[in-house]
Amino acid sequence: MARTSTRLRHATITLLAWSIALWMFFPILWMFLTGFKSEPDAISTPPHFFFNPTLSSYQDVFARENYWHFAANSVVISLMATVVALLVSIPAAYAMAFLPGPRTRMTLLWMLSTRMLPSVGVLVPIYLLARATGLLDSRTGLVVIYMLTNLPITVWMLYTFFREVPVPILEAGRMDGATRWQEVTQVLLPLALPGIASTGLLSLILCWNETFWSLNLTSSVAAPLTTFIASFSSPEGLFFAKLSAASTLAVAPIMVFGWASQKQLVRGLTFGAVK
Amino acid sequence: MDKVAGHPPVMASPAGSAARSRGLQGFVLQSPAIMLLLAWSVVPLLMTLWYSVRNYNLVDPTQQGFAGISNYWYLLTDPDFMTSLENTAILVGGVLAISVGLGTLLAVLYNEEFAGRGIARILVISPFFIMPTVAALLWKNLMLHPIYGVYSAMMRAVGLTPVDWLSRYPLATLVMIVAWEWLPFAVLILLTAIQSLDTEQKEAARMDGAGMVAQFINITLPHLSRAITVVIMIETIFLLTIFAEISVTTAGGPGVASTNLAFLIYSRALLQFDVGGASAGGVVAIVVANIVAAFLLRAVARNLET
Amino acid sequence: MATVELRNLRKTYLHEEIIKGVSLAIAEREFVVFVGPSGCGKSTLLRMIAGLEDISAGDLLIDGQRVNDTEPARRGLAMVFQSYALYPHMNVYRNMEFSLRLAGMPEAERRQRIGDVARILQLEPYLDHRPGQLSGGQRQRVAIGRAIVRNPRVFLFDEPLSNLDAALRGQMRVELASLHRRLGATTIYVTHDQVEAMTMADRIVVLNKGVVEQIGTPLELYHRPGNLFVARFMGSPPMNLLPATISAPAPEGSVQVRTGTFSVSIPTQQAGLEAGAPATLGVRPEHIRIDPQGAVHGMVEVSERLGAITLLHVRLPDGQMIVVQTGGDNIDCADTPISMTFEEEHCHLFDAGGMALARSTEHPLLAGA
C-alpha cells in the first residue's frame, strides 16, 4: 500500500518536473530547430517537427551581416567590462569586508541604490556626454558603461564572498609576516577564487545580454550581438527561419557558457542569502 | 633541547610598516569604486535635472531657454504618464508574483529526486541566459504569432480560434514573456537556498506530525525568506527598467496600453526629440526608483545584519 | 626564548572597556594559561599580545622591549588558532613554508627545517596533503608545526584543543606538554577548560570580565582560591558552596560557622570576624567523608558511579544539594539516608564580598610555597 503510493508520488513528480522543464525550454528548442528549416517550412501550419534540415538560413544571415564582427564586439566588450569591474571592486570589497568602518554598510547600500537608477532617466545626458567625448559607437564607451552598471553588483557579490573567508586564516597570514599585498594576493584571492569566478560569470552574462545602452549608444563600429539581433526584428521579422538562425547565433555562445558554468554561477547568485 | 630549537628565530623583514592606519587604507582601497559610482550617479543626474527645466527640442532649435516646471507640468498632467506608471507597477508586480510564487514551488519540485534531474534543471534555467531582444522576438513570432505561432497552431488543434495575444492583451502577454525570462533566476536562487535546508528540521517537523503542506509553510518558507528578499531585490532592479521587450514586441502599444515609464521617456526623447520633456520624465523615473529602492534596501539591510 | 610583560594593559572597544588593566610578568620558558568563562576577555588579551588587536592603554614588553606598535610578524611570536586557520589552498609543506618564504629564507634551509618539524610531529607522510584531506588531530599538528617551524620567541595558543573530541583532546594535551618540555619555549595558552589549565600550566591566570581574579600555580588555585569566582571555576565537580552565618569566633584561630542544619568549626586567622555576619562555606567533594557518626545528614538523590570513584548527589534537610566524592566501591543508592563529616581543615570560608578568609592551616602540597 505504502509502496504504491510512494511510487505514484515519484511518478507524478517525474512527470510534472519534466513537463515544466520541457515547456520552459520549448521556445529555445523551437528557435534552434526553426533555424534549420527552409522559410516555407518555418511558417507551415500546422508546424512541422520533422523536416529536411537546411543551412540556407544560416548562409543568408552570414551573407547579410558580418556576424563575427558583432560576436567579437560582444566578447571583447563583455570581457573587458568584467575584468575592469573586478579590478575596481576587489579592493573595495576587501576593504568593506576586512577593514569595515562605521559607514561601510551605508556605502554598500548606496552603491546598490545607484544600480536602481533607471538607465532611461539618464539616457539623454549620457548620450550627449558620449558624443562630446567621442565615445559614441565605441567599444570603450560600452566597456565604461557596462563596468559602471555592474560595479554595484560585483562589489556586493565579492563582499559576501570575502566575508565567508575565515578571518583567522588572514590573521595567520599576518602572523606569518605577510604584508597587506601578500595577504590579499597569496591568501585571500586563492581562497575566494570560486567566488570571484562566479562574480565574473554573472557580470559576463549581464554584459552579453545588456540591450538598452548597446541599442542606444552603438550603431555599427562597436555594435554587439544585441544590436545584431535587433536588426532582424523588423521589417523582416516574418522570415522566421532567418530570424531563428540569427537568434541562435546571438544566444548560443553565452548559453553554452552558462550551462558549462552553471554550478559555479549559482553559488554567486545567491548574494549571501544562502548560508 | 631539540634540533628545531637550535635554529635562529624567523622574523619578518624590517621593511614592514609600523601600526597600520586601517581607516585610511580602507578608504584608499574603496575610493576608486566610490568615485566612479559617484560620478556615474551624480553627473548625469545633475544634467538631467538641468535639462528638465529647459526648453530643449532637438528638431526645433528655436525653442530655447528656461522652462521652469512646465516640462514637469506637461508630463504630470499627461494621461499617458499615469498609464505608464500603472503599467510599470503591473509589469513589476506581475512578474515578481509569478517568479517568486511559481519559483518557490518549482524550487521545491526540482529539489525532489527524479530521473534526469540534472538535465531538467538545466532546461528550466536556460531562459535566464537568453538576451531580452531574442526572448521578445521568439515569443512574438515563433510562439504567439496569430497565424504561424506554435501556440496558435495548438489552439487550432483543439478547436479554438487563435488570439492575437500582443494586441488583445498586450500587458498581460508582456508580463508572461518577462516572467519566462526571470522565473529561472528565482528557481536558481531558491533551489540553492532549499538545498541548504537542514533535513533534521524537516524530520523533526514530520515527527511532530506536520504534513507536506505544513512542512512547506512552517519550515521551508521561513528558511527561504532571505533568498526571496534577494530575488525580489535583484529582479526589481531589472524589471523597473524593462525596455527591450516592449520595444520589440508592442512598441508600447496599442496606444500606450503597454508603455511603461522607461518606454515613455524613451519615446519622448528619441521619437519626439523632446529632451526637456524626456529629462523631466527621467527625473520622475529616478524619484520612483528611489522610493522603491528605499523600501527594498531596508529589507536588504536586514539581510546584512546577520 | 623570551620574557613577556604586561603592564596595566587595557582594551576599549566602542566605548566599552573589555580588558580592564591586566598586569603580568611571564618568565622565560614558562607555560602560562589564561582561563575563564567565555566573554572574560582571555582571547582578546591573547590577540593583543599577538598584535592582532590594538592596545588601548598600557605597555606590552617582549624581552624588555615595548612592542605595542610592532607588526604581529615582527614581535617574534607564533600563534595556533582555535580553528587552526590553515591555508586550505596550500598543502602541509606549503603551509609550514609560508612564513619562511615570506622571510626570504633560502630554499635548502626551509626544506631542512620543515623536515625536522615534520619528523617531530609525525607529519612526514602528509606533507603533500591539503588540510581538507586531514583529520582534526592531524590539522592540529600542522597548525602547531606551522608555529614551531618559525622557532618563535613565544608561542600563543588560542583554545587549540576545543575542536577535538574528548579522547584526542586528552592525547594532544600530553603531546603539547611534552613538546613544551622539549622546545622549552615561553608559551601563553588560552582555554575555557579548567582541566587543560590544571594539567598543562606552570601558572594559571583566571580572568573574569576583563579583570584578573587570581594568578597562581594550579594547586594554589585549587587549594587556596582567593575568592568565590575562582573557587567555583577551578575543580570538577565544582566545590560545594553553602550559605552560612558566623556564629561565634572561637578561640585559638578558628571560627564557628552555621549553615541551615549544622555547624562546623573552621581554622582561620582572620581578625575582626563578627558573630552573625553572612558568609559562604566551601568544601570540595573529596573533602566530605561518609561517617555514620557525622554531624551532617542528608538523603542520596543520585549516585553517579564513575568506576574509580562514585559521586553522591546528596540533599540536605534544608533542601541544599551537595556532591560527595566516595570510593568506587560505595554502594549507597538513591533514597538512602547518609551521615557525613566535613574535613574542617580543608573547608574554605568566604566573606559577604566573596573574598576568601585567611587560613591558619596550609595544604601540605603548598607548604613552603
Considering the domain architecture, whether residues A90 and A31 belong to the same structural domain is answered as no
| Cross-chain residue pair A169–C72, CB shorter than 8 Å | no
- Of C306, C314, C266, whose CA–CA distance to C290 is shortest? C314
> Band of the pLDDT at A144, cuts 50, 70, 90?
very high
Would you put residue A137 in left (φ > 0), alpha (ψ -120 to 50) or beta? left
Q: Which residues contact B95 (CB under 8 A, 6 or more apart)?
A: B175, B178, B179, B182, B235, B239
Mean pLDDT computed over B55-65 = 71
**What tens digit of pLDDT does each residue of B74-118 get?**
778 888 888 888 898 899 999 999 999 999 999 989 888 888 888
If one counts every other C-beta atom within 10 angstroms of the C-beta of residue A191, the result is: 20
User: What local confidence, expressed as pLDDT, does residue A81 receive?
Assistant: 94
In angstroms, the CA B293 to CA C7 distance is: 52
Q: How far apart are CA C142 and CA A172, in angstroms?
A: 13
* Domain identity same for A244 and A151: yes
What's the pLDDT score for residue A268?
Answer: 61
Give the mean pLDDT of B242-251: 84
What is the DSSP annotation of C4-73?
A: EEEEEEEEEETTEEEEEEEEEEE-TT-EEEEE-STTSSHHHHHHHHHTSS---EEEEEETTEE-TTS-GG
Strand partners, C355: C227
Q: Which residues contact C238 (CB under 8 A, 6 or more apart)?
A: C232
* Pair type for strands C263-267 and C254-258: antiparallel
Predicted confidence at residue A272, as pLDDT, reads: 55
| Residue among C1, C75, C35, C8 nearest C158 (CA) | C35
Residue that wins the pLDDT comparison between B22 and B45: B45
pLDDT of residue A234: 65
The answer to whether the CB of C199 falls within 8 A of the CB of C236 is no
Counting beta carbons within 10 angstroms of the beta carbon of residue C277, is it exposed (0 to 12), middle (13 to 18) or buried (19 or more)?
A: middle
- pLDDT (average), residues A107-128: 79
Nearest by CB to residue C81, choosing from A172, A182, A190, is A172
Q: What is the mean pLDDT of residues A63-67?
A: 80
Residue where a domain terminates, one of A58, A88, A104: A58
Name residues of chain C where pLDDT drops below 70. Answer: 1, 249-252, 271, 360-365, 367-369
Q: Which residue has the higher pLDDT, A117 or C64?
A: C64
Angle at alpha carbon of residue A238, lines to A232 and A241, rounded to 5°: 75
Task: Say if residues C231 and C356 touch (Cβ distance below 8 Å).
Answer: yes
Residues A79 and A111 in one domain: yes
Q: Which fold has domain C233-366?
A: OB fold (Dihydrolipoamide Acetyltransferase, E2P) (2.40.50)
Q: Give per-residue pLDDT as tens, A191-208.
A: 888 888 888 988 998 899
User: Which residue has better confidence, A214 or B54?
Assistant: A214
The C-alpha angle B270, B276, B281, rounded to 5 degrees, equals 75
C303 bridge partner residues: C312
For residue A274, tell me if it sits in a domain: no
Nearest CA in chain A to C53: A171
Q: CB of C278 within 8 A of CB of C264? A: no
Examine the pLDDT at B303 and tell me if it is beyond 70.
no
Residues 6+ apart with CB under 8 A from B60: B273
Residues A42 and A71 grouped into a single domain: no
| Shortest CA distance from C115: residue in chain B | B4
C-alpha grid cell, residue A220: 555599427
Q: Which residue in chain B has the smallest CA separation from A110?
A: B297
Closest Cβ–Cβ partner in B2, B9, B16 for C71: B16
Does residue A133 belong to the interface with chain B, where contact is any CB pair within 8 Å? no
Radius of gyration of chain A (CA): 24
What is the rounded distance in angstroms from the CA atom of residue B299 to the CA atom of residue B276? 35
Distance to chain A for C177, nearest Cα, Å? 23
Identify the DSSP state of C236: S
pLDDT value, residue B17 = 36
- For chain C, the residues whose C-beta falls within 8 A of a C-beta of chain B are 54, 69-71, 73-74, 76, 99-100, 102-105, 113, 116-117, 120, 148-153, 182-185
Q: Report d(CA C294, CA C243) in Å as an integer.
A: 20
First to last CA, chain B: 49
Is A116 close to B283, i.e. CB distance below 8 A?
no
Tell me whether residue A275 is in a domain: no
- Joined together, the cell numbers standing for residue C204 give 594559571
Q: Residues 166 to 225 of A: which have CB under 8 A from any C CB?
A: 166, 168-169, 171-178, 182, 186-187, 190-191
Q: Is the residue at A173 inside a domain?
A: yes
Query: Do both A49 and A148 map to the same domain?
Result: no
pLDDT at C143: 92
Q: Are A196 and A94 spatial neighbours (Cβ–Cβ below 8 Å)?
A: no
Q: Is residue A92 part of a domain?
A: yes
Q: Domain range for residue A8?
A: 2-58
Count Cβ atoms within 10 A of the Cβ of residue C239 and give its class: 0-12 exposed, 13-18 middle, 19 or more buried: buried
Kindly give the residue spans of alpha helices, DSSP state H, lying in chain B: 3-6, 22-52, 70-76, 79-111, 117-125, 132-137, 150-157, 165-168, 170-195, 199-207, 212-215, 221-239, 244-249, 261-266, 275-305
Mean pLDDT of A243-250: 86
In terms of DSSP H, where are the helices of chain C? 42-50, 92-102, 107-120, 136-148, 166-183, 194-200, 218-223, 228-233
If asked whether residues A252 and A151 sit together in one domain, one would say yes
Gap between the Cα atoms of A230 and A120, Å rounded: 18
Q: Which residues, in sequence order, are CB contacts of A177 under 8 Å at separation 6+?
A: B10, B11, B12, B13, B16, C73, C74, C99, C102, C103
B2 with C100: Cβ contact below 8 A: no
CA nearest to C345, candidates C321, C325, C366 = C366
Q: What is the mean pLDDT of chain B?
A: 80
pLDDT at A82 over 90: yes
What sign does the CA torsion over B159, B161, B165, B169 have? negative
- Per-residue confidence (pLDDT) for residue A147, from 0 to 100: 93
Question: Which site among B85, B121, B129 would you substitute to test the A interface, given the most A Cβ atoms closer than 10 Å to its Cβ?
Answer: B129
Q: Which residue has the higher pLDDT, C156 or A9?
A: C156
Question: Which of the listed residues A42, A58, A74 is the one where a domain comes to its end?
Answer: A58
The third-level CATH classification (topology) of the domain covering C4-232 is: Rossmann fold (3.40.50)
Both A121 and A248 in one domain: the answer is yes
The shortest CB-CB distance from A191 to any of C82, C89, C150 is to: C89
pLDDT tens-digit map of C34-59: 999 988 899 999 999 998 888 889 99
A241 and A173 within one domain: yes
Contacts 24+ apart (CB under 8 A), A233-239: A233/B133, A233/B137, A233/B248, A237/B137, A237/B140, A237/B141, A238/A43, A238/B141, A238/B148, A239/A39, A239/A42
Probe site for chain B from C62, C67, C151 (most B CB atoms < 10 A): C151
pLDDT at residue A2 tops 60: no
> Quick check: B45 pLDDT over 50?
yes
| Residue B83, amino acid | T
pLDDT tens for each residue of C305-317: 888 899 999 999 8
- Select from C230, C237, C160 the least CA-distant residue to C200: C160
pLDDT bin (cut points 50, 70, 90) of residue B9 is low
Instruction: Tally the domains of chain A.
Output: 2
Same domain, A43 and A103: no
CATH numbers and ranges of domains, chain B: 78-273 (1.10.3720.10)
Yes or no: say if C206 and C35 are a contact pair by the CB < 8 Å rule: yes
Q: Which three cell numbers stand for residue C8?
A: 596595566
The residue extents of the domains of chain C are 4-232, 233-366
CA–CA separation, B218 and C274 (whole Å): 62
Which has the closest alpha carbon to C175: C160, C192, C188? C160
pLDDT grade for B68, boundaries at 50, 70 and 90? confident
Same domain? A26 vs A139: no
The number of beta carbons lying within 10 Å of the beta carbon of residue A127 is 18
In the predicted structure, residue A213 carries a pLDDT above the cut 50: yes
Cβ-defined contact of B12 to C152 (cutoff 8 Å): no
In this predicted model, what pLDDT tens digit does every residue of B190-214 receive, in sequence order?
888 888 777 777 777 777 777 778 8
CA trace torsion C262, C264, C270, C274 (10° rounding): 30
Whether the pLDDT of residue B19 is over 50: the answer is: no
Residue type, C161: L
Crossing angle of helices A262-269 and B170-195, rounded to 10°? 90
Q: Are residues A52 and A73 in the same domain?
A: no
Given a contact cutoff of 8 angstroms between Cβ atoms, the answer to whether C193 and C162 are in contact is yes
- Quote the cell numbers at residue B134: 531574442
Is residue A50 classed as helix, strand or coil in its secondary structure? coil
CATH of the domain at A255: 1.10.3720.10
Q: What interhelical angle do A262-269 and A189-209 show, nearest 10?
A: 100
C236 alpha carbon, distance to own chain's centre: 12
Work out whether strand C296-305 and strand C337-342 pair parallel, antiparallel, or are unpaired: antiparallel
SS3 A48: coil
What's the confidence (pLDDT) of residue A24? 92
C92: left (phi over 0), alpha (psi -120 to 50) or beta: alpha
Chain B residues in contact with C152 by the CB 8 A cut-off are: 9-10
- The answer for A 223-252 residues in CB contact with B (under 8 A) is 225-226, 229-230, 232-233, 237-238, 240, 243-244, 247, 250-251
Distance CA A201, CA A161 (A): 14
Claim to verify: residue A46 and residue A86 sit in the same structural domain: no
Among A31, A48, A271, which Cα is nearest to A158's? A271
Amino acid C73: pLDDT: 83
